[in-house]
Chain A
Amino acid sequence: MTTLTYATRDSATLLRRNLRHLVRYPSLTLMIIGMPVVFLLLFVYVFGGTLGAGLPGGSTSSDPRADYLLYLTPAILVMTVVSVANSTAILVAKDATEGIIDRFRTLPIARSAPLTGHVLAAMAQTVFGVLIVLGIALALGYRSDASVAGWVGAAGILVLMGWAVTWLCVALGLASGSVEAASNAPMPLILLPFLSSAFVPTDSMPSGLAWVAEHQPFTPIIETLRAFLDGRDPGSDLWWAIGWCALITVLCFWWATRLFGRVRAS
């Protein structure tokens, strides 16, 4: 077998290990999916009436809350992906602070395999989480005008983004040095969507903030997803979204595999 097939096989072996963890630690998955669900309910039922009225054309709408659900759902799906990635930082840090990382590091396997195993498990969890959250949104009355191609595009951008933020969280998990620090390290990642077009359109923000919001990665990602789900063409947002995801993935893959060689169990 070649080096590449070995690396793939080792990643699959370690994916199985991480999936077993998820099955045996169901409260973690529940917590991960709980966060976006709480945001969904909070923003639709508490803030939704008012926020919906503030959307373009919302002041004359007969049901601003329903309009806001339509606007919000893509953002909540992105939050679900971020939430899964966040938990990966914790799982990676747990490995890194225990002796098991030394065992992996003294094996003749690809450096990236234990990390890829985590990322693949996170992707499986992302698919599961997104389907559940989407199901809840549908139950609340969310409807999409997306064609099959639109749904494929939406799934694609979620996976691409999941891949990028999970590699970022793997690196953060390795860099943080403890499980506690790892649970806090991705906090900016949870807050960043608030400074984007996730919850309100950027043109409602003060100009300085709007500039930041329009130029940070979450806005093109969320706008692309929103366009796909609304049955529109995402235009240049799609390319910005793909570019950001690719850049973050490459940088964080490099950072994480470098850290993996250095981190020592304490």
Chain B
Amino acid sequence: MTDHTTAIEVTGIVKSYGDTPVLRGIDLSVPAGTVYALLGPNGAGKTTMIRILATLLSADDGTARISGYDVGTEPDAVRRSIGMTGQFSAIDELLTGRENLRLMADLAHLRKAEAAARVEELLARFGLADAGDRRAATYSGGMKRRLDLAMTLVSRPRVIFLDEPTTGLDPRSRRDLWQIVRELLREGVTILLTTQYLDEADQLAHTVGLLDAGRLVAEGTPAELKAQAGGETLDDVFLALTGHAATADDQDDDTEALR
């Protein structure tokens, strides 16, 4: 965290779907080796922002640079330094956990021995060693999410995007995932995550950006935001700064845990 170079630099990003504006001019900057949380309710534009940064969507206006490379004009250079775990499971359910990781290692052009070692290392680190030869279709929700993230890490990306990484996870899997994020941070990785959970941003992020209807309405450390709004929790902050409550559907957690 002593590294002050900028990993993600976003200037004036605008995006509409047809006549519906989704992002209305976003500026943000994430120093290398820190966690930035984009916090906001459904429909605020969080996923669109991540998809633009991950080269999956092009912005209508504005620029975004990842590790100095422009997402619009140098997508391949950007792709070499990023990893993304989206909201939707990006694992191959017909393959085993080990085969999924090996697929990523082969696509990252690792040498044979290196690929095999990396796969075993990640299986062990994500608690999937015993389940490595089972098809991913048989995994629990938490295991699938861990495999998904492990697949993202195979190529050792320096910038990682996590789109609602804990949505739908039970409380324990959620804490496991937080732990993984903290470990990545210790390795010097830069992380931009989106979340609807205020406590998640509070727990993980150095900087929180409050996204509401396509605009960043506030930005700062969790402590700064709380001081600014005079509230105790980020919930209070959200209410104070947007005039309405954040509508996080935390209820998913409970139904998942009961399964």
Contacts and interface: CB of A to CB of B under 8 A. Distances in A.
B86 A13 contact: no
A25 B94 contact: yes
Contact of A98 (B90, B103, B107): B90
Chain A's interface size range is 20 to 34
Contacts of B103: 13, 17
A100 B92 contact: yes
Given A13-B106, A17-B103, A109-B107, A100 B80 contact: no
A103 B76 contact: no
Interface string B70-93: 000000100110111011111110
B56 A264 contact: yes
Given A13-B106, A264-B56, A106 B88 contact: no
B89 A17 contact: no
Nearest to B155: A107
B90 A102 contact: yes
Chain B's interface size range is 20 to 34
B57 to A, nearest CB: 8
A105 B71 CA distance: 13
Nearest to A101: B90
B30 interface: no
A10 interface: yes
Interface in A9-28: 9-10, 13-14, 17, 20-21, 24-25
B95 interface: yes
Interface of B: 51, 54-57, 76, 79-80, 82-84, 86-92, 94-95, 99, 103, 106-109, 135, 148, 151-152, 155
Given A10-B107, A106-B55, A106-B79, A20 B95 contact: yes
Contacts of A17: 92, 95, 99, 103
Contacts of B56: 102, 105-106, 264
Contacts of B76: 108
Interface in A240-265: 264-265
30 contacts: A1-B109, A9-B106, A10-B107, A13-B103, A13-B106, A13-B107, A14-B107, A17-B99, A17-B103, A20-B94, A20-B95, A20-B99, A21-B94, A98-B88, A98-B89, A99-B91, A100-B90, A102-B84, A102-B88, A102-B90, A103-B86, A106-B54, A106-B79, A107-B107, A107-B155, A108-B76, A108-B79, A109-B107, A264-B57, A265-B86
